């Protein structure tokens, strides 16, 4: 039995049972032709719901969306592990991981279960009251970082702002910098977010254009240049903030030993070292923290993205009493920061990283993927670089075009900095899946259309 209704000038067919036959179906003088796909794949017929195709969903979204992103022309409606599906049922391999927020894979069952279990108990209280799950999470964070203080927030940009606030207050109350004179040194081509403090220390013109007046008290020096850093430090310098690997800048990796030099410079000058590990940390670069590559411990870690397991937004600043202890009641806060859902989800996300040894997996498979990519020869390739499963393929032409063609082959990546393709699959990826993706990359290069 078929039921037809009109919706938005389209006739929607509803049926009582799954139809596995293609063909023609007539009703009230209208003939409906179903071809190329099974009817039950074309319509959500068993659910009695209107089915929207990819093109329709994109048009609907763009009618209302603020135009701050330029996504690839694909709609993701399902995801599991390293694979995603569009509404038509086409499968794609995710090689972006939501900018490294999905290190544990899409919908990891242990993380999803933690979300469900906590949602059945309590979801939000604000920090006006204690909750029974915050202490467990804090202890886990302290255990992996060696830091004894946790400042929970929600997004990466919030955590960056929080770390800068703490560094400035430390400069005034501990170091003795005159009021309102504290300075922070950041790196050229950095990305720490798009709110006011991160914008104020950005060197990217488009991040800053039209948003002034921006904040004072920031200096920018070249990334990977310890001499430039030392020259920029003065008596009022509160902190140095950097990404141990610059993600948005094109997966820029500093020279070996650079982070150790930064640590030594900060120590000599009584300056805090802040490591923004939001994208490169938590296993992405083949270590729990990317600063581990130089065996360096910063004064503050900033974590986000994969801290929520791709399920819930959560971020933290990690530090010791001397630094985060300068904050007191009323000096900082967040209604949602440290909420019960975030705590339980993040604790589960960290347990997955540790129990499944995903940092080690990233290191091993990242070395393999990097090596295989370097075997590809093509006139458009400028450089291939990376640590762990955090790899940048730099081209001498538009990386956007490459990503669009790769999407057509079933692999999802996103360009960064114009000419760099970022390969960052979920850390649960297998060697066989990487081999499949490598064949698609080679196919795009060999097409002759790129």
DSSP state of 291: G
Burial call 174-193: b when 16+ CB within 10 Å, e when fewer? ebebeeeebbbbbbbbbbbb
Instruction: Retrieve residue 443's tokens.
Output: 């196919």
Peptide bond into 146 cis (omega under 30): no
> CB of 163 within 8 A of CB of 184?
no
Distance CA 293, CA 260 (A): 9
**Is 191 considered catalytic here?**
yes
Q: At what angle do helices 340-355 and 109-119 cross, to 10 degrees?
A: 160
Instruction: Retrieve residue 144's tokens.
Output: 């992996």
Instruction: Retrieve residue 248's tokens.
Output: 């948005």
Residue with token string 């938590």: 282
Residue with token string 């410079």: 265
Strands 91-94 and 411-412: parallel
> CB of 315 within 8 A of CB of 278?
yes
Query: 147, 305, 414, 440: which is the annotated catalytic residue?
Result: 305
Percent helix, strand, coil in the chain, to 5, is 35, 20, 45
Residue with token string 């070395």: 367
Query: 42, 138, 191, 312: which is the annotated catalytic residue?
Result: 191
Q: Is the four-CA dihedral 432, 437, 443, 446 of positive or negative sign? A: negative
**Is 42 considered catalytic here?**
no
H or E stretch including 238? strand 237-242
Residue 222 CB: number of other CB atoms within 10 A?
14
Q: Is 221 helix (H, G, I), strand (E, B) or coil?
A: strand
H helix runs in 325-417, sequence order: 340-355, 358-374, 399-408
Residue 392 CB: number of other CB atoms within 10 A?
27
Instruction: Retrieve residue 105's tokens.
Output: 């894979």
Instruction: Retrieve residue 122's tokens.
Output: 């309590």
Query: 276, 289, 390, 445: which is the annotated catalytic residue?
Result: 276
**Is 294 considered catalytic here?**
no
One DSSP character per residue, 110-159 reads HHHHHHHHHHTT-----TTS--TTHHHHHHHHHHHH--SEEEEESSHHHH
Instruction: Retrieve residue 78's tokens.
Output: 């399902």
Active site (catalytic) residues: 191, 276, 305
């Amino acid at each position: 039995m078929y039921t037809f209704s009109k919706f938005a000038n389209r006739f929607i067919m509803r049926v009582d049972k799954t139809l596995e036959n293609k063909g023609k179906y007539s009703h009230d003088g209208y003939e409906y032709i179903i071809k190329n796909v099974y009817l039950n794949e074309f319509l959500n017929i068993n659910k009695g719901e209107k089915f929207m195709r990819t093109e329709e969903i994109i048009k609907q979204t763009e009618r209302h969306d603020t135009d701050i992103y330029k996504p690839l022309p694909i709609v993701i409606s399902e995801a599991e592990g390293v694979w995603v599906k569009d509404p038509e049922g086409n499968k794609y391999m995710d090689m972006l991981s939501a900018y490294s927020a999905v290190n544990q894979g899409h919908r990891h069952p242990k993380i999803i279960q933690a979300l469900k279990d906590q949602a059945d108990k309590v979801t939000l209280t604000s920090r006006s009251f204690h909750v029974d799950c915050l202490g467990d999470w804090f202890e886990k964070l302290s255990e992996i970082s060696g830091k004894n203080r946790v400042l929970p927030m929600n997004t990466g940009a919030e955590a960056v702002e929080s770390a800068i606030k703490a560094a400035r207050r430390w400069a005034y109350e501990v170091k003795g910098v005159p009021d309102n004179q504290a300075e922070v040194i950041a790196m050229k081509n950095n990305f720490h977010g798009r709110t006011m403090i991160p914008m104020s220390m950005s060197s990217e013109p488009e991040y800053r254009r039209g948003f002034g007046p921006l904040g004072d008290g920031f200096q920018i020096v070249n990334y990977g240049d310890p001499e430039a850093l030392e020259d920029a430090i003065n008596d009022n310098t509160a902190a140095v903030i950097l990404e141990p690997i610059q993600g948005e800048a094109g997966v820029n990796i500093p020279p070996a030993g650079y982070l150790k030099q930064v640590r030594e410079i900060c120590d000599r000058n009584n300056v805090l070292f802040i490591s923004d590990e939001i994208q490169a940390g938590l296993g992405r670069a083949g270590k729990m923290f990317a600063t581990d590559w130089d065996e360096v411990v910063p004064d503050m870690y900033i974590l986000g993205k994969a801290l929520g397991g791709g399920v819930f937004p959560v971020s933290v600043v990690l530090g010791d009493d001397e630094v985060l202890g300068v904050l007191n009641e009323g000096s900082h806060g967040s209604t949602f920061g440290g909420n019960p859902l975030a705590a339980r989800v993040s604790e589960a996300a960290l347990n997955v990283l540790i129990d499944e040894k995903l940092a080690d997996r990233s290191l091993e498979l990242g070395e393999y993927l990097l090596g295989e990519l370097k075997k590809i020869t093509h006139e458009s390739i400028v450089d291939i670089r990376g640590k762990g499963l955090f790899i940048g393929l730099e081209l001498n032409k538009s990386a956007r075009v490459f990503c669009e063609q790769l999407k057509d082959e079933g692999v999802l990546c996103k360009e960064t900095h114009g000419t760099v393709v970022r390969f960052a699959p979920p850390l649960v990826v297998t060697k066989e899946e990487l081999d499949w993706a490598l064949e698609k990359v080679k196919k795009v290069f060999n097409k002759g259309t790129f």
